[in-house]
Chains A and B, each alone.
Chain A
Amino acid sequence: MTATPHTPRRLAVSDLQGSAARRRRELGVRLLFLGAASLSIVISLLIILSLAGEAWTFISQVDPALLFERGWFPRRDLYSLQTIVAGTLTVAGIGMLVAAPLGLGAAVYLSEYASPRVRRTVKPILEILAGIPSVVLGYFALRVISPTIVDQVCPGTTEGFNMAAAGIGVGILITPLIASVAEDAMYAVPRSLREASYGLGARKRTTSLRIVVPAAISGIVAALILGLSRGIGETMVVSIAAGATGGSLFSVNPCEPGQTMTAAMTALATGSDQVRGATLAFPSLFFVGLLLFAFTLVLNLVADRFVRRVRIRY
């Protein structure tokens, strides 16, 4: 037998790679997208660096005794952190008292009771409520909620400025967030669990409360934590409705004006150029910002972990 004179050349990888120009373009596009994705890491680093720099200036120069005075008056160099932390927790706490029942109630109803038509109508409306800017809610809290609701409980507040009104405003703001995260979690509970429960003769109420809610508990907890984190970081409602723009004495009384960490920052900033004076007011802005960033970051990470647990299970 004679070997055929024509032996086919062995196929190399380079024959399948296509043109070099095409590969170069491919690499270029890939790097471009990689750059865009890495930008978020750069932004995070910038946030931490810009906050930490000035915060360090503040912490290294401030007299530690001033941090535990009885009030937050940066223009007079009084930086009582417990005042603004207490104010923040008071407002966010009131917000949660309003938002948790409203949001979870709406979530259970939409997930378990509502007909598909009601769901389709109500969910966009909740999205609209979520889209109302916080300045608008702040003004609403000051001019409407404060005189009509808060005044019933604590009459004679100073010109309507109080932490209760701000808290209710914050609560309205975070209700749609809690409702939507909790509803997602409950809606994701498999149908078979509900059917098993009905098969044992359980009522709808029993099935909702004893089967669906426990099965979705991670998501519900995540919804509440996210709501709290949002309430702590909420700025404009408090700046407008809680009063105390010049500073505040320590107070956790909802009927009184108060200062939160966020409102303290806008109050400093709207004093515009005095902020850059000789005092530590300007760096204190960043120290409070770093504190706020740390608070919300921890809450968000915890919530993230809870959300992921739901996803793994179903």
Chain B
Amino acid sequence: MASTPRTQAITGAEAVRRSLEGDRSDWRSMGFHGLLVTLLVLTLGVLAWLLSVVFVNGVPVLAERGVDFLTSPLAAQPDEAGVGQAIAGSLWLMVFVAVISFPLGIGAAVYLEEYARDSWFTRFVNTVVRNLAGVPSIVYGLLGLAIFVVALGDIVGPGSASGRSLIAGGLTMAILVLPIVIITSAEALRAVPGSIREAAFGVGATRWEVVRSHVLPYAAPGIFTGTILSMARAFGETAPLVLVGAVIGGFNVQYDNIVETLQGRYTALPTTVYDWARKPPSFEGNVYAAIVVLIVVLLLVNALAIYLRNRFERRW
């Protein structure tokens, strides 16, 4: 019979296992496994709890107010206040980040990875960049306050803004994300294999030609993902903006042109959440609704980054 040796084999293996383990089960290993699973589930559960609280409280308010909530300016009454100015301000800050820190950050990464030799200067710059990435964001706020608001206030935000202008906030944000852009771009560049470079050098390309036509195109997906994620980080950042004067409270100003907008006062989405969070409980619905807007934007941006990474990820 075909089945007989099979059954015997299983019972044989079972017998060996029993004789090795003894007759009892390994409770302590199971307990340890269970503990680890519990800790992971707790961590993920906190995220689920947070998202459910936010959406359960925020979505009804958003549904009731509709587009009105997304376009209304800040106001003293909860049912009139909206996030129109906050969204506009946040988008403007993103423009600063994209225009200033992306080229500078990618340029610095190209220098560190492609041009620099392993000298004391390179190692020093690398250390400085890593430490800048670990500086608490509020310290960048102090930097912006000292330099853009106080020292350069008359240029970046003359008149009633007294230095606390969109330019001051945008430049501060750009400096804040610069180290992150450098680190992620450098990682992406490092992942491009040397043979690609050597092939280009072999046909007589200069270093810049190698970088432009070979290294950067191959590193582009990684660089995009990194820059998008650093933008998401800037989008949710609050503390430095509180220091460099994102408006807390209400403001009704209509700016006529782009210069006035840039030199005028501003607010941002996370700052608005902070402001409303400190107001009486009647603002609770608004806070949750604004958080929903904030989180939905961040989730979309993250999803885009993950999609890009999976779509263009290359194995060498």
Could you list which residues of chain A lie within 8 angstroms of chain B, going by C-beta atoms?
18, 22-23, 25-26, 29-30, 32-41, 43-44, 46-47, 50-51, 53-54, 101-106, 108-110, 113, 122, 124-129, 131-140, 142-144, 172, 175-176, 179, 203-205, 208-209, 226, 229-230, 232-236, 239-240, 245, 262, 265-266, 269-270, 272-273, 285-286, 289, 292-293, 296-297, 300-301, 304
Contacts and interface: CB of A to CB of B under 8 A. Distances in A.
Contact of A262 (B46, B53, B138): B138
23 contacts: A18-B206, A30-B111, A30-B115, A36-B107, A37-B112, A43-B175, A102-B42, A105-B35, A109-B36, A136-B291, A139-B277, A140-B50, A144-B49, A172-B50, A203-B29, A233-B138, A236-B270, A240-B277, A262-B136, A269-B141, A293-B135, A297-B135, A304-B127
Given A33-B107, A136-B273, A226-B134, A131 B233 contact: yes
Counting chain B residues whose Cβ lies within 8 A of the other chain, the interface size class is 35 or more
A53 B107 CA distance: 31
A205 B29 contact: yes
Contacts of B207: 26, 30
B104 A36 contact: yes
A179 B43 contact: yes
Contacts of B44: 122, 125-126, 129
A7 B299 CA distance: 72
B137 A105 contact: no
Interface string B224-237: 00000100110111
Q: Which of A53, A126, A136 has the most CB of B within 10 A?
A: A136
Contact of A128 (B54, B287, B302): B302
B135 A296 contact: yes
B302 to A, nearest CB: 6
Nearest to B49: A144
Interface of B: 26, 28-29, 32-33, 35-40, 42-44, 46-47, 49-50, 53-54, 103-105, 107-108, 110-112, 114-116, 124-125, 127-132, 134-143, 145-147, 162, 175, 178-179, 182, 204, 206-208, 229, 232-233, 235-239, 242-243, 245, 248, 270, 273-274, 277-278, 284, 287, 291, 294-295, 298-299, 302, 306
B278 A240 contact: yes
A240 B274 contact: yes
B139 A47 contact: yes
A286 B111 contact: no
Contacts of B236: 131-136
Contact of A270 (B36, B104, B130, B242): B242
Contact of B146 (A54, A125, A239, A262): A54
Nearest to B305: A127
Given A53-B146, A109-B39, A136 B243 contact: no
Contact of A105 (B39, B142, B145, B306): B39
A233 B137 contact: yes
A124 B305 CA distance: 11
Contacts of A133: 235-238, 270, 273, 294, 298
Contacts of A135: 236, 238, 270, 273-274, 277, 291
Given A137-B50, A286-B146, A292-B139, A40 B36 contact: no
B306 to A, nearest CB: 6
B230 to A, nearest CB: 11
B124 to A, nearest CB: 8
Contacts of B243: 265-266, 269
A113 B40 CA distance: 11
A37 B107 contact: yes
A265 B130 contact: no
Nearest to B134: A300
Contact of A289 (B29, B125, B139): B139
